[in-house]
Structure 1
Amino acid sequence: MNKFLKIVGAVTLINIVARVFGFFREAVIGYQYGSSRIADSIFTAYNIPNFLYLVIGGAFTTAFISIYNRKKTDQALFIKQSFTIVALTGIVMTIVILIFTTPILNLIYQKTDLTVEEFQRTKHLFYWMMPSSILLMLSSWYSGLLNVNSKFHLSSVAILIYNVFFLIIGVVFSNIIGPIAYGISALASAVIMMFFLIRGYRQLDSYSVGLSFVRTHSTRDLWIMVFPLAIGGGTVQIYAMLQRFFAAFLGLGDSAVAVVNYASRLTQFPQSILITAVTTVIYPILSRKEAEDDHQSIKGLYGKGLHYLLLLMGPVTIYSYFYAESLVQVIFEYRKFTAEDTAITAPVVAILALSMFFLAATMYITRFYYAKGDSMAPVVLSIVNVFIINIGAMYFFADNGFGADAIAWGTLISSVTNTLMLIAYASFKYDLKLGDGLNKVELLKPIVPLITLTCIMYISSEYLVFDYKWVTFIVGIVIFTFSTIMLYMLFRIKEINQVYIKLKSKFIKTK
């Protein structure tokens, strides 16, 4: 477990830097275009390529890792087979979507009064961004290839490179040629990331990558796994896709798409850093443990992993809820992003913040289903929650005048029910319990400090508000950090004490 945590920690640090650049890109777009139609165009055009990368590319990558680790798999052949399948799938999907660009955009904007110029701008951005889908899906596959070779850091560094170049190219050229620069930067940064991953894999001197149209049981299993993995494993990304689509489709206002995008990016930031690091490392390990029939280790990872997730995400959720307005102000409220934009974005952030732990837990738990070879249960539960409960809740709240908040309420309600269903079924079917690897005292210990932290953050957010937004933000961060650490230490949360002892041994030399 200690080795696992060290690896996760290293990958997390890289992911933090990578996500900061990706998040900063969103902040810069807010600075340049606020919640205007131009910002809507950029986010709408990037929506589908990003979705294909994270959901379809992620599904192929997860299936590849699972099949690659099986004893009967011809690994050298399967690398070529899977590369061919991913490449052709990316090409075909991209071509089909490009052909139907106009009908797709008409569907998204059917309840929005876009001018011809605004529609054409979105269309041109879309034409630039969509070809990057092929490279992004292949990059996801290469990341999986590196991960099965325990080169977890390279896949994380690749995301960092992508976000850095996406930001730099977009910002520099947008000052020259306008918002179309973000379309160009999306394609260029995907090329650069792909080059880095290919170069990194070639240095391993492992099996060669190439084309193979040979059909075996491995290719059959790959196709069988991909669809359910895309639905069940891409829950967070599917939520993001539906949020942006229904923000426009339900006619929630001219700025609804941009508002929902800013809010979802803000709340996805902490959960993406953690859960990407954990799933990057844990799934290859889980696949090997399952192949070795080491069920005890799997149960320990399940219980302790969810425990760590609560310890980390719980405080972040509490802070994000009470300081939603402060976060939006210091990150987005500059130039064309006005106080009015903050007023409509902050409530969406606060509601989405409450879903952060549940979305992260859902992604974490589904990896255990996949390690067990069960890709159907997460699919069925995701369809029920994401496509029925979520959409139903969005319609209900939209009809009752909640505006953009309706999108956030749909996400919160369905993410809670999805997580609870996954936990219940895992307990019934695979005997995976929340307390596996923990005693009852350790399991219940976080409750009191988290309740106490909630009270502290409520009081500070209500009564320690200053005229200068950065003072309010800094005071809130200081109180949050100090309170979290002291409460965890006061209530003897073992993990915090372990970190304290290690830091003390490194920086305080005993005589």
Structure 2
Amino acid sequence: MSKKSLLAVIGVVALLNILSRFFGFFREAVIGYQFGTSDKADSIVLAYTIPMFLYTVLGGAITTAFISIYKKMTKEDEKRQFQEVLFTYTCIGMAFLSLLLVVFAGPIVQVLFPGLSAKTEETTVYLFRWMAPSSLFLVLSMWLTGILNIYNRFFMPACSTLANNAGFVVLVLILYPFLGIDAYNVGALTGAIVMCILLAIEIKKYNIMTFRFRLNMKDGAYVQRFFRMMIPILLGGATLQFYFLIQRMFASDLSEGVIAALNYASKLVQLPQVVLMTAVTTVIYPKLAGEASKGNSEGVNLMYEKGLKALLLCIGGATIFVYVYAHEIIEAVFQYGSFTEDSTMLTATLLKWFVIGMFAHGANVYVTRFFYALERPFFPVVSGVIAVFVINVSLIYLFMESMGASGVALATTISAFVQFIALIIVGKGKLGLSIRSSLLSGSIWSFLLLLTVVTVLIGWGLPLENSIGRLIIGGILFVITVLLAGAVTKIPEISSLFNKLKRKGIK
């Protein structure tokens, strides 16, 4: 794929991801409108936590390990057998796991979220029992997405995710007046099934694989190698999702609605992080695995540095804007219906703590991809486990009594930065992944500092009271500030855009 084609694909994937995330946020907004920060809102969030955890963590581990090994296979017959074996194990394993989740829904909720009231626990168990089967289709969809990505088919995977989120929202809006809270059960399960079907149709259309069951292949070493790689990736890739799970476990001991508020804030933080990062890594990772298989260390290092630089500029800028306009964002997105001003104040405070760590979370996911591509997944596992279960949990205990829910968010942010620093150090020492002068140059940090100061001053000085008006005016001024600050500090990616606009007569 040429550089121009690659950028075009990234642009299309990014656009579809934006639309998909829009519907994902719209779903959260609907929950906020109908239930605000109440016990029912907490139950809906908790019921869908485990299916989404499995989708992201288990599905992501299966897909990442599959791509890494598949890209190194040379014989077409072995590739076909490997696909069929993985398809068989994924279907059987997830069907059995989904059945266990349904049967033991009550004990699972009691163990994971012990602080819930009797009423909230009952509602959560009921919803979870209906949403649990979606886990099968979600995990299978993640793996089918990986197969399509290998063959440079990025459009349908992005469309299927959009269909899942949009279908969920549409069904909830249509069915809620008739089914009440059960509309969320129908939306969750139907959306997952539709996503899986769309991906399967795309695979059959291009005859990429056959959906045959196979329990073993001639060379079993590939399957053994897959499982040896998948398990560490599963633990290492679970870092962000374990953060969310632990947040909700501890928040179950706090006041009603805190779980929902944590969810609303964390979802907003994920928008710029996931859209910018996922669009790039979805397209880049198969290419990265290919470069690693060729032993092209220079190409791998160049991708490493450029990716981190892009994340720092994009996510760093988004962090500044979201932090300054946190209250306006929450009010504009959520404060309708049952979502009160008190809900806005609580959620906006949590958003500020979360957004400080947005770059660290995004960069951790990006950097671990390089460990996986080079088949060195051990340290991301160790660093993730220490960050989540040692540093994060210790800080939550330290902060939560005095800071409440804010202490949970702050602990997550600090832990993410600790893990990022550790990954960078080990990446350089063990993998030879270096951050060169372009990323450490003073121009980038001067740009971010200048952008911060000007954005804060504008936020303080805007005379408008209306939140939407402040966001629109503030957003326009922010974009102008980015272009000017980039030109002044000589950031190549920004100053070149500024010069193009200047030549066209835009001052």
The TM-score normalised by the length of structure 1 is 0.94
Give the conservation status (yes or no) of the 8 Å contact 1:247–1:257.
yes
Q: Which residue of 229, 243, 247 maps to 2:233?
A: 229
Q: CA deviation at 1:185?
A: 0.7
Q: Deviations over 1:306-358 (max 9, x none)?
A: 00111101110011111111111111111110001111111110010001000
What number of residue pairs does the alignment pair up?
499
CA gap of 1:499–1:285, structure 2 versus 1, over 3 A, is farther
CA distance in 2, matches of 1:134, 1:504: 52
Q: CA deviation at 1:133?
A: 0.3
Give the conservation status (yes or no) of the 8 Å contact 1:236–1:359.
yes
Q: How does 1:358-437 map to 2 (within 5 A)?
A: 358-399=360-401, 401-435=402-436
What residue identity is the alignment partner of 2:417?
V
SS at match of 2:206: coil
1:149 equivalenced with 2:147 (yes/no):
no
Q: CA deviation at 1:448?
A: 0.9
Q: CA deviation at 1:300?
A: 0.3
1:489 equivalenced with 2:487 (yes/no):
yes
Q: CA deviation at 1:16?
A: 0.7
Give the conservation status (yes or no) of the 8 Å contact 1:225–1:375.
yes
What residue identity is the alignment partner of 1:362?
N
Give the conservation status (yes or no) of the 8 Å contact 1:15–1:156.
yes
What residue identity is the alignment partner of 1:226?
M
Q: CA deviation at 1:477?
A: 1.3
In the alignment, structure 1 segments of 5+ residues that lack a partner are: none
- 1:104 is matched with 108
Q: CA deviation at 1:104?
A: 1.7
Q: CA deviation at 1:390?
A: 0.7
CA distance in 1, matches of 2:276, 2:377: 23
Give the conservation status (yes or no) of the 8 Å contact 2:24–2:166.
yes
SS at match of 1:446: helix
- 2:223 is matched with 219
Q: Deviations over 1:400-449 (max 9, x none)?
A: x21110110111010000000000000111111112xxx54884321112
- 2:342 is matched with 340
CA distance in 2, matches of 1:290, 1:481: 37
CA gap of 1:295–1:3, structure 2 versus 1, over 3 A, is farther
Q: CA deviation at 1:501?
A: 6.7
Give the conservation status (yes or no) of the 8 Å contact 1:366–1:378.
yes
1:166 equivalenced with 2:164 (yes/no):
no
SS at match of 1:18: helix
CA distance in 2, matches of 1:316, 1:160: 23
Give the conservation status (yes or no) of the 8 Å contact 2:43–2:127.
yes
Q: How does 1:261-280 map to 2 (within 5 A)?
A: 261-280=263-282
CA gap of 1:381–1:474, structure 2 versus 1, over 3 A, is same
Q: How does 1:83-94 map to 2 (within 5 A)?
A: 83-94=87-98
Q: Which residue of 46, 49, 54 maps to 1:47?
A: 49
- 1:457 is matched with 455
What residue identity is the alignment partner of 1:81?
V
SS at match of 1:425: helix
Displaced runs of 4 or more, over 6 A = 501-505
Deviates more, 1:206-215 or 1:352-361: 206-215
1:113 equivalenced with 2:139 (yes/no):
no
CA gap of 1:496–1:91, structure 2 versus 1, over 3 A, is same
Q: CA deviation at 1:499?
A: 4.3
What residue identity is the alignment partner of 2:135?
S
RMSD over aligned CA atoms reads 1.9
SS at match of 2:118: coil
Q: Deviations over 1:265-308 (max 9, x none)?
A: 11111101111112211111111111111111100000111001
What residue identity is the alignment partner of 2:400?
A
SS at match of 2:403: coil
Q: CA deviation at 1:119?
A: 3.2
Q: CA deviation at 1:498?
A: 4.3
What residue identity is the alignment partner of 1:80?
E
CA gap of 1:451–1:177, structure 2 versus 1, over 3 A, is same
CA distance in 2, matches of 1:163, 1:35: 21
Give the conservation status (yes or no) of the 8 Å contact 1:307–1:443.
no
CA gap of 1:127–1:260, structure 2 versus 1, over 3 A, is same
SS at match of 1:163: helix
- 1:243 is matched with 247
CA distance in 2, matches of 1:342, 1:441: 37
CA distance in 2, matches of 1:153, 1:496: 28
In the alignment, structure 2 segments of 5+ residues that lack a partner are: none
